[in-house]
Structure 1
Amino acid sequence: MKARIAAVLAERKRNPITRILCYTYGGQTVYYESAACCDQPSNVFDTKGRLVCQPDGGITGKGDGKCPDFDKKKTNEKLVWQDPR
Structure 2
Amino acid sequence: MRFFIVLVVLLIALNLKISLAQFNIPQCIQKKIDSILAEPVWNPPATIRKYSYNNKPTYLLSSNCCDQFNDLYDKSCNRICAPSGGFTGQGDGQCRDFYQTAKFLGDVWVDKRSREK
In the alignment, structure 1 residue 81 sits paired with structure 2 residue 109: yes
1:2-44 per-position Cα deviation (integer Å, ceiling 9, x unaligned): 1110111111101111111111011100001112222011010
1:31-76 per-position Cα deviation (integer Å, ceiling 9, x unaligned): 0111222201101000001111111111122111110111111114
Q: TM-score, normalised by structure 1?
A: 0.92
Counterpart selection for 1:23 from 51, 55, 63: 51
Q: How far apart, CA to CA, are the structure 1 residues paired with 2:102 and 2:37?
A: 27
1:8 aligns with 36
Q: TM-score, normalised by structure 2?
A: 0.68
CA RMSD, aligned part only? 1.1
Gaps of 5+ in 2: 1-28
How many residue pairs match? The answer is 85
Q: Following superposition, which runs of at least 4 residues in structure 1 exceed 3 angstroms of deviation?
A: none
Identical pairs, percent:
38
Greater gyration radius: 2
Larger RCO (CA under 8 A, 6+ residues apart):
1
